[in-house]
């Protein structure tokens, strides 16, 4: 039986700004999707046992089928005589790179079962093809984080720039889920519209976001977590100013800070989905997670820098 896994992810700096060429920083998290591939007599079988937001897997089923077709095609394998089972501890929901993690896990499991000996670079290329089933033309940032782990500096352009970064050691975080599935396309379109309508205001905000990214990179690479936390707070304020946060996200961010997080912000598409809190000390991670749970929201306790 072939085995494989892929990391989930969290965007630490500059979701939305990244669409317009501003640098962003993404981190893999210490939760994974796993895949197991076995041979069967004819046909194709698929079982998805991932924990997930209600209706998430049902809503993504058609895209998932396209994604799997893309993976088999990219690996020059026939989609028959194979059974795939997904699992793992990554809670499948918007904002944690669930689709990319599944693509990486499946590619690795197929490589293992069919003795293809794919390198990480090859797995990443296959996973990118799989991501096309979900996103059309993906940026590539999610599958890269899912494949390699760690931290990634990303700039969108004619040729995307992706540079691997490193943390001195893993750091605890808390991710709070509002439970609302965000319409990322609508959020992105809204930013574009407002940017065109208020160019001077938005140019200033975007310049500030770029400064945050470079300062954030320096702080992460020097392991100055207090500075990272302050910059996350600043980044959240900028995201509020371009109107992609909402009351639930702001409430969870405030709850995290009030309970000891050294930084907290929304993460992902916004207008729902997840926020992230930097909680290096285990006791603070537990306190923040407990406070968010008490408000009735789902929590992930995990790490970055893995």
Q: Where are the domains of the chain?
A: 2-165, 171-304
> Token pair of 38, please?
């076995």
pLDDT for the residue 139: 78
Residue 216 CB neighbour total at 10 angstroms: 24
Q: What share of the chain is helix, strand, coil (3-state, %, to 5)?
A: 45, 25, 30
Q: How far apart are CA 121 and CA 138, in angstroms?
A: 17
Q: Output the tens digit of pLDDT for each of the chain's 306 residues.
A: 999 999 999 999 999 899 899 999 999 999 999 999 999 998 999 999 999 988 888 888 999 999 999 999 999 999 999 999 999 999 988 789 899 999 999 999 999 999 999 999 999 999 999 999 987 878 788 898 999 999 999 998 888 898 999 899 999 999 999 887 766 778 888 999 999 999 999 999 999 999 999 999 999 999 999 999 999 999 999 999 999 999 999 999 999 999 999 999 999 888 888 999 999 999 999 999 999 999 999 999 999 988
Q: Is residue 221 helix, strand or coil?
A: helix
**Known catalytic membership, residue 142:** yes
Query: Among the residues of 86-183, which ranges form H helices?
Result: 98-113, 120-135, 141-148
pLDDT for the residue 182: 65
Q: Catalytic pick from 142, 183, 203, 248?
A: 142
State residue 212 phi and psi, 5-degree precision.
-60, -40
The gap between the terminal CA atoms of the chain, to the nearest Å, is 26
Residue of 70, 51, 83 whose CA lies nearest to 133: 70
Question: For the domain with range 2-165, which CATH number is right: 3.30.830.10, 3.30.230.10, 3.30.360.10, 3.30.1600.10?
Answer: 3.30.230.10
For residue 31, give the H/E element and its range: strand 24-39
Query: 171-304: which CATH topology?
Result: Alpha-Beta Plaits (3.30.70)
Rg for the chain, CA atoms, rounded: 19
What is the CA angle 58-63-65, rounded to 5? 90
Residue 134 CB neighbour total at 10 angstroms: 19
pLDDT for the residue 122: 97
């Amino acid at each position: 039986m072939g085995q494989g896994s892929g990391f989930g992810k969290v965007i630490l700096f500059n979701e939305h700004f990244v669409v317009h060429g501003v640098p962003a920083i993404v981190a893999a998290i210490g939760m994974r999707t796993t895949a197991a591939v076995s041979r069967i007599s004819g046909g194709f079988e698929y079982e998805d046992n991932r924990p997930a937001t209600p209706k998430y897997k049902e809503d993504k089923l058609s895209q998932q089928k396209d994604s799997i077709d893309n993976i088999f095609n990219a690996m020059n394998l026939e989609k028959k005589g194979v059974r795939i089972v997904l699992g793992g501890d990554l809670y499948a929901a918007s904002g944690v790179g669930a689709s990319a993690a599944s693509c990486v896990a499946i590619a690795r499991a197929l490589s293992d079962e069919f003795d293809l000996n794919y390198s990480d670079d090859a797995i990443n290329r296959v996973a990118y093809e799989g991501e096309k089933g979900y996103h059309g033309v993906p940026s590539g940032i999610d599958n890269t984080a899912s494949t390699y782990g760690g931290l990634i500096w990303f700039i969108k352009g004619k040729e995307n720039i992706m540079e691997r970064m490193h943390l001195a050691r893993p750091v605890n975080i808390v991710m709070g889920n509002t439970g609302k599935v965000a319409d990322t396309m609508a959020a992105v379109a809204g930013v574009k519209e407002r940017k065109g309508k208020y160019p001077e205001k938005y140019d200033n905000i975007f310049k500030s976001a770029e400064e945050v990214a470079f300062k954030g990179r320096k702080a992460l690479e020097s392991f100055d977590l207090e500075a990272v936390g302050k910059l996350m707070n600043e980044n959240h304020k900028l995201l509020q100013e371009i109107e992609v946060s909402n009351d639930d996200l702001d409430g969870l961010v405030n709850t995290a800070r009030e309970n000891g997080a050294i930084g907290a912000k929304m993460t992902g598409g916004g207008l729902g989905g997840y926020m992230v809190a930097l909680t290096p000390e285990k006791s603070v991670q537990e306190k923040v997670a407990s406070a968010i749970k008490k408000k009735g929201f789902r929590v992930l306790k995990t790490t970055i820098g893995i």
